[in-house]
Amino acid sequence: MRPDPDLALQGLEEAVEARGWPTGISECRPSSEAALEVCAGPLGVQFRGRIQTSKRLMALQQSAQPAALLLLVLLPLAAARTVLRNRDGSCVMLPTASPWHQDVSAWPVYSRSASVVDIIGADTRFHADFSGGEEVSGRMIHYGIPINEVDTNPAKGQRFPANGAIVFDESDDESDHGMYPFPLAAKVEGAWAGCDPDVCSGDRHVLVRDNHTCLLYEGYACRAPSGMSGKWTCGSGAIFDLSSPKLIQRHVGWTSADAAGLPIWPGLITISDVLDKGVIDHAIRFTSDSLRTAYQYPATHLTDGDNPAGPWMGMRARLRPTFNCGLLRTAAARVICRALKKTGMILADGGSSWYLTGEANPAWQARLGSSYDQFLTDIKAIKGSDVQVVVPPTGACLCDHAHAYNCDTTVCLL
């Protein structure tokens, strides 16, 4: 059973304000009727409460038919909320106040930064986990995570398999239910259209931005149906409002299409940012092969780690201020370097250490041309010892229990 988060938050915020605690937890979205423990401010003060289940929400979920749900999920949202757009009419990739856009260049360095960097790999070089590719069963698969754009405006006439109905076969209880406008031929990470999961394995992410509602739909371990009457099947799925200023949009403790419970697309290095705009204004998603069983907001989910002193989901890091981006020979690498110093990185998944995630697109190699190999070399010129783990000026604490929402005050990052 899923509670109405607004009802839970109302009582939570009132209690917090009554005690005079900071209200920075107001964006949490608890999902359990069990006891709730939440970080409340820089000292990690804990609040314990009970969540009320919304009969109205449950009745709606149980009674709505697929066709009605399509209208419920896709159409009213555009009218009931303010949709933020760029000057060219495109969707904003989260408001400027979002944690993804925070300038971390002046944030304090975590007291154990050097130790955490050593665990990830101080001598390990960075890697552009995008561009290039490999052949699988005679077909080219491009490295990175592909992006898809759709428009659910009825006037556009775009159709989706089973009217957007979807099946979650791994983490159904932690997935956002509703209609997912995944095209039949949507690009899937690590796969070509129709490739069997046993052949095209891996995370098989699907990322879709709806340019009508400015909602972002993401799935993990996805398989397309064979035709328009079938349903997409994914291991898990998450829906994010790209116009929302909220720190946390989904239920605390839930996974997403990413291990940290975060959206994926906002952290990708894209051709548009690097080669067209010449600036990346958001934190860059990266991975580590060693993890601590904990997460830091805005991450909302943890995985079983192998090192209690290692990096954690949602951890923020940046290049040292003294790192000279001017030494990199390609303009594209310098764009990434400047972003790593200003908006930094955010740890979002387990994987090879210091792998920077980017858009899967054959145009990388075509656009970079003769500078392509040098670009990859430039990224490898950066190594772990050039990185600092940073914490917000107000401090933060780590949540180390997946579903008890326990923020461990013994590991506050001050």
The angle, 0 to 180 degrees and rounded to 10, between the axes of the packed helices 372-380 and 331-342 is 30
Residue 375 has pLDDT above 90, yes or no: yes
The two structure tokens encoding residue 330? 């390609």
DSSP reduced 3-state for 378: helix
The Cα–Cα gap between 244 and 111 comes to 33
How crowded is residue 66: how many other Cβ atoms within 10 Å of its Cβ?
12
Task: Give the distance from CA 288 to its chain's centroid.
Answer: 15
Residue 53 pLDDT more than 70?
A: no
Two tokens, residue 328: 């990199």
At 47 the pLDDT is 29
* Distance in angstroms (rounded) separating the CA atoms of residues 42 and 21: 10
pLDDT score for 157: 96
pLDDT category of residue 413 using cuts at 50, 70 and 90? low
Give residue 10's pLDDT.
Answer: 39
- Here the tokens at position 311 are 């990096």
- The reported pLDDT for the residue numbered 360 is 98
pLDDT mean over 314-329: 98
Half-sphere exposure of 335 (CA within 13 A, CB side): 18
Residue 286 or residue 5, greater confidence? 286
User: pLDDT for 333-373, tens place per residue?
Assistant: 999 999 999 999 999 999 999 999 999 999 999 999 999 99
Separation CA 187–CA 42 (nearest Å) = 41
- pLDDT above 70 covers a percentage of the chain that reads 77
Out of 114-118, 243-247, 272-276, 348-352, pick the least confident: 243-247
pLDDT of 296 strictly over 70:
yes
Identify the top-confidence range among 76-85, 190-199, 227-236: 227-236
Mean pLDDT within 170-183: 97
- In the sheet with 316-319, reading across from the earlier edge strand, the strands are 127-129, 355-357, 284-288, 345-350, 316-319, 387-390
pLDDT of residue 396: 80
Q: Return the pLDDT at 402.
A: 57
Residue recorded with tokens 């994926």: 264
Query: What's the whole-model pTM score?
Result: 0.82
14-28, 155-169, 393-407: range with lowest mean pLDDT: 14-28
Longest dimension (CA), the chain: 64
pLDDT-derived band at 412, boundaries 50, 70, 90: low
Question: What's the average model confidence in pLDDT over 241-266?
Answer: 93
Separation CA 267–CA 243 (nearest Å): 16
pLDDT, greater one: 88 or 55: 88
